[in-house]
Amino acid sequence: MKLPKCNVCKHQFWRGKINTSLWFSNRAIQCSVCGTKLEIASRSRHFVIRPLYIVVGVLLIFLLGILSSLFLPFLVNYNLHYTTGCLVEEVIELNRRKISAH
């Protein structure tokens, strides 16, 4: 598979120019030799650019999920909940026994 060429002078475009055209609002590519402007074909827009945006969007959501799972545990606070009174009393009793054993 080769990189696209200019339809007029057959000059082969370099990868950076093609990537710039793809990522920044589907700009037309201008040939540096003859000055011809070439636009992305509508078929290419449907089969290349839209899936590219979808993949990048999914990857960004996935990356955001990973980053949030790394930092959210540092932001969470827990409080003691006294719904089980007997359990709290047992813990207090065990702590008293430990202190008195020393």
pLDDT in tens, 21-75: 777 766 788 888 888 888 877 777 667 777 778 888 999 999 999 998 888 888 8
pLDDT for the residue 83: 58
12 bridge partner residues? 5
pLDDT for the residue 85: 56
pLDDT for the residue 59: 95
Burial class (CB in 10 A: 0-12, 13-18, 19+), 59: exposed
Total-model pTM:
0.42
- What is the full DSSP assignment across 71-97? HGGGT-------S-HHHHHHHHHHHHH
Are residue 9 and residue 33 in the same domain, yes or no?
yes
Q: Domains in the chain: how many in total?
A: 2
Are residue 89 and residue 52 in the same domain, yes or no?
yes
pLDDT in tens, 68-100: 888 888 888 777 666 555 677 777 888 888 888
Are residue 36 and residue 84 in the same domain, yes or no?
no
d(CA 59, CA 79): 35
Dihedral, CA atoms, 17, 22, 25, 27, nearest 10 degrees?
A: 40
